[in-house]
Structure 1
Amino acid sequence: MPHWMSRRLLGLLRKEWLQILRDPSSLAIAFVLPGGLLLLFGYGVSLDARQVPVGLVIEQPSTAAQSFTAAFQNSPYFEPRLYATLQDGREAVRRHHVKGLVVLPSDFSQRIAGASTGSAEAPIGVILNGVDANSARLLQGYIQGVWSNWLQQESDAHGLGLGLVEPVAAEIRVWFNPELESRHFLVPGLLVVNMTLVGALLTALVFAREWERGTLEALLVTPVTIDEILIGKLLPYFVLGLGGMVLSVLMALGLFDVPLRGSFWVLALCSTLFLLTALGMGLLISIVTRNQFLAGMIALLVTFLPAFLLSGFLFDIDSMPTPVRALTYLVAARYFVTILQTLFLAGDVWSLILPNAAALALMAGALLGLSRRLLHKRLE
């Protein structure tokens, strides 16, 4: 690193530390922010999988099938949904309407009866959505728990003792992430975090820095237009964000062996939409606040932290309380995380990609348009 660059870095670090020590708001950040996070983790975010939507396919109704279905309906961990055919259940898993699928074949009662004699055929089949490896493991354990408890109850009810429980095994198949590798789930989400850092946090300081230094007024006396100023400010960060996306994708594919089952061009287009949304959010914050420190803190609270906590990157949105789950629809990262996980692990599932891409396009247009309007008004 050149000598002048090292001195600049040290100067920036010294300036930031002096700003923190001199600004009373640093105390508020030190106490209010941790308190807010504690409330969010304590009440708003749950790592427990409860009321998980699970599909049930009963090919042939019977007393045993009805009893097994009741075991799911009485469990606090599941929200069972009945599907008439296996094809309907598979499509529900593909569209993320349910997290897993339990299939009771037409000869379910006969297989249960044959299990005590050592039959090798599994009485039930289970398909899991393995995009979120941790949720898939939890769901697998919960289904096995319901299965074992139901077998125990059936054995006791028919006076069969424990003999029926041991030879019976569920046949489980995990979709999209068969190895249940957490990195296959986490690495695509890191693209969201990286692009949020470049698009929102850095852009939030662009105009705030100009306001503080008083150089924006001097820029206006030149022949350049407001649109040219906006393009000149945002284009470098746009290029930087796309460069970081390409590097992250190459690392994901080369270092972590994360599969990319969808189209790279669809990935590039959706990344562009999200980056424009992040740039619009950072630009709006920078124009409104006119203060670098305040702009950085607001950007951290409304873009960076939600990208971690409310996007589905780390925590399952379906396990959150209803008010928090409704709040996630305002977080752009939520839509991009869904797109990335779909493209990397499932492929070009248009029923998921198109609605989320449309939401990003709408948010990008609204944020950039509002930023352009506010900047124009404030400069007149």
Structure 2
Amino acid sequence: MLEGLTMTGSMINRRLLGLLRKESLQILRDPSSIAIAFVLPVVLLLLFGYGVSLDSKHVPIGIVVEQPGAETASFVAAFRQSVYFEPRIYRSLQAGRAALRERRVDGILVLAADFAQRLKGDRDAPIQVIVNGVDANSARLLEGYVQGVWSIWLQRELEARQIPVSVPVEAQTRIWFNPELASRNYLVPGLLVVNMTLVGALLTALVLAREWERGTLEALMVTPVTIGEILIGKLLPYFVLGMGGMVLSVVMALFLFEVPMRGSFWVLAVCSTLFLLSALGMGLLISIVTRNQFVAGMIAILATFLPAFLLSGFLFDIGSMPVVVQVLTHVVAARYFVAILQTLFLAGDVWSLILPNAAALVLMAAFFLGLSRRRLRKRIE
């Protein structure tokens, strides 16, 4: 009896090792798999790390100076010294408005002819601010930056004239987790989720679909190999591929983009494993259902990549979305992994955030892998 069990276990091991070797050779012979796993994440990281920024700096702004003087020169100098603005001087409001219409500037500040007189006297010296509101977010940022530069300049002017400044409330701002306010520190961790989604879901979505199209899966079904062995043989090589791409992305994030890592690497590895298993399960389920590479690829992009890009909180704040869309994000696995990565990189091991999101990934991985096991049967339909 013991000898029979030993022989059976040895045969299972040989079958599984054969399947793993077959799938590994298939990956090595397919340049597209290597490109999606290693080249595409590097390209996306370089593109978003260097080319995409949510920070508004060097914004072209027009300053209309109707009557030049020492006060207006001081005001313009304050904007020249700011990293947020590139001021351009105009002598009339008509010229400034023309520049705004032609998108040569994003906003206009108008200093009226009596600006210096009002500033020296007891009357108010208002400035007119006209902002291009086509991009509402940029318009709000520009308005806030203008108010910041204006308030700092006004305080310096009053101090230079030895005029007492009475401020009943003084705000002392402290920025936690991302004190540099660098959007790169926010974007790069979220982009790791998009990369792992591509590797996990897109590649595995093509695995069984390719086998069905080539007719090799039917030949595999008539062998003694079990469904569990088929699934392990298909998933394990792509799991290794996905984790390799994740390691490469993390190394780039830490050493190339200098994103801080305040959490534990072990927690990062465990949570990455959970998310990759859920992505592999989704891709495998798509592959089993469609049996066509083109259809499987399109469904994988629509069902996994786009939600990971748009509904995960990677680029857009989930709390600002409509209620219906917020509810929909709860079925997107990337939402939970984005929250974990941003917490690990910028805040640390905050267990009250990590554990619930990790539990959600466990449930989603179990659901998709279990459903894939149930849908794949050893019979030709």
- The answer to whether the superposition gives a TM-score over 0.5 is yes
Distance across 2 between alignment mates of 1:326 and 1:378? 38
Equivalent in the alignment of 2:200: 199
CA separation of 1:243 and 1:269: change in aligned 2, threshold 3 A: same
CA distance in 2, matches of 1:292, 1:236: 19
How many Å separate the matches in 2 of 1:8 and 1:179? 42
Q: Tell me which residue corresponds to 1:319.
A: 320
Q: In the alignment, which residue of structure 1 is the partner of 2:311?
A: 310
Larger Cα-atom Rg: 2
- 1:126-172 CA deviation, whole Å, 9 max, x = no partner? xxxxxxxx99x96x949x89xx9xxxxxxxxxxxxx98787965211
Task: Describe the superposition over 1:183-222 as per-residue Cα deviations: whole angstroms up to 9, x where unpaired.
Answer: 1101111110111111000100111111112111101122
Whether 2:251 is the aligned partner of 1:259: answer no
Deviations 1:41-88 (A, max 9, x none): xxxxxx9xxxxxxxxxxxxxxxxxxxxxxxxxxxxxxxxxxxxxxxxx
Look up the match of 1:289.
Answer: 290
* Residues 224, 245 of structure 1: alpha-carbon distance in 2 compared, 3 angstrom cutoff: same
SS at structure 1 position matched to 2:181: coil
1:292-346 superposed Cα distances (whole Å, 9 cap, x missing partner): 1111000000100011100000011111011011110010000000000000000
Aligned to 2:263, the other structure's residue is in SS state coil
1:329 aligns with 2:330: yes
Root-mean-square deviation (CA, aligned residues, Å) is 3.1
Aligned length: 236
Is 1:359 equivalent to 2:371 in the alignment? no
Q: TM-score, normalised by structure 2?
A: 0.57
Q: Output the CA distance in 2 between the equivalents of 1:244 and 1:219.
A: 29
Aligned in 2, Cα 1:268/1:298: closer, same or farther, shift over 3 Å?
Answer: same
2:221–2:379 CA contact under 8 A, matched in 1: no
Written as runs of structure 1 = structure 2, the 5 A alignment for 1:87-236 is 141=144, 169-236=170-237
* Distance of 1:285 and 1:165 partners within structure 2: 66
The Cα offsets for residues 223-272 of structure 1, whole Å up to 9 and x where unpaired, read as 21111111111111100000111111111111111111010000000000
User: How high is the sequence identity, in percent, across the aligned residues?
Assistant: 81
Query: 2:243 — aligned with what?
Result: 242
Q: Which amino acid aligns with 1:302?
A: A
Segments of structure 1 that go 5 or more residues without pairing to the other structure are: 1-6, 11-46, 48-133, 149-161
Q: State the AA in 2 paired with 1:241.
A: G
Between the aligned partners of 1:358 and 1:292, the Cα distance in structure 2 is: 32
> For the structure 1 residues 210 and 320, does the alpha-carbon distance in structure 2 shift closer, same or farther, using more than 3 Å as the test?
same
Letter aligned with residue 317 of structure 1? I
Q: 1:257 to 1:296 in 2, by over 3 A?
A: same
SS in 1 for 2:173: strand
2:345, 2:226 → 1: CA distance? 41
One-letter amino acid of the structure 1 residue matched with residue 372 of structure 2: S
Distance 1:378 1:371, change over 3 A: farther
Closer/same/farther in 2, CA of residues 275 and 165 from structure 1, 3 Å limit = farther
